[in-house]
Structure 1
């Protein structure tokens, strides 16, 4: 039986190193009473780092891993080394039931490949999808998937992504019946590829807790009119990177404007509460934690450059998914979805 109170952490993954990962774990422990951890990586370095986080000493087990997956390692190379790496061992702990979820800030391609090989996909899932929350103007974030795991998909895949995304939204956003839309080049029913239109037809007849709201264009992703936005991994990754780049552009433009003259600096002091709110809302660390949906276990990908707060957010999201039994929810929804229509799309 899986120990749902334990999160396995790839302590060596990420751009910022072990110190930031441990600081994030310590912050997550303070925010979530009862949470325990298995820290995977170089045991000597981890033991030294734990001296600065006494709150973890009684709540963390260290599992030694002699190797680390690098950012440039190809997935095929990572798979061959999985049993000796911090990333691979963290995933294996989920497979063996010693942890409810694994969290890594390492190489995304390697993490996806190793997780899929070790955990396998759920019955009824052809391909896992990468899903993550993005900020909006609405009352909650929007869940978007696929964000890069599958460049080419068919209608059946899109429907499966929608069902998984809705289950994810009910878990993390605490929504009873999430509003689900398909990313398209127009909102009219005749727009888009045949695969997108076929997926829309199936989703209109969905027998699971979701409300299909039709098509959404790229300029409306952040309006807050939808809770889940579904697309192929090619479009999703471009949309994600464009959104992140736009956020940085706005932040840099404001910084430049507010430092251009004495008058603008005075204006910055007056408007500082508003700009701080904007900065907090756009900070990717506050929305950190993408998950590979559709696997027999929970694996969460943290931003490689996440701060300690970002790591803590990713771990907190992983813990919430475990407590809500996200994997079982997805499996149940797939069984309840109109099977005759899914079969017709195959």
Structure 2
């Protein structure tokens, strides 16, 4: 509405009436209209100060600042050093101005640079190809006390292939858990990739040496990038958002008993949306296709009985994934073509 009032022609006599009708301030409209029609402001060049250093003295200051002994020193250090030697050239601020005019103001010390971490891109096309693991805290009986839940997850089937609850985070305790999971699932050498974040037990030497001995490839998330470990993070949310999840656990035995019941339900009975509403066990142990065929037969019968309920096409069960990615690569122009 303000734009409409400003656009009215000057001298038309309509400004006051339009401002009253639209409840606008007439003074604001006139001020903004004048600003739009006024010529652009130009600032006259600033006159040099009579106290400014002449060019000869500026060159002398720059020569001192560029001396090898001052190559890694700030103007503050240079000023103090010269002052102790009985030499005064100019103020510290003037030194900065002279350096800025030469484009030489910047960090002059050697700075630590962080390495460039590569984004993990992992593909699983069957169970026991990529496992993801993480540790989460479970509240203990008193404030600031915790139990630690270790969980290993198969990203293709979403099955919990190993878990344990302990009093602390420890690479040695994870080593026992992982070796036990490998033996139970009979995973051969040079097949499995283990993905984790960059926590202490995940990057520990004990863990790294164990993976080398077992022929397991290790993979890590980028720092502070939870999306690089999405399956473990989502699984912990599923765990802690269950209605029966307690506010805290009184003993470690209570925590272990709860997790034992929960993971049995999760693996055997939980219909996971990410795997075509199958349970993790059905995907992990190769039962999915048979169940998918039975579901399709049920839907076909429903379609034949009441085809008017299905407007666009015959119904189909949710698709079973054939490939699961952590950070799928972006399609290039060649793949899109």
TM-score higher than 0.5: no
Tell me which of the two structures has the higher relative contact order, counting C-alpha pairs closer than 8 angstroms and 6 or more residues apart.
1
TM-score, length basis structure 1:
0.30
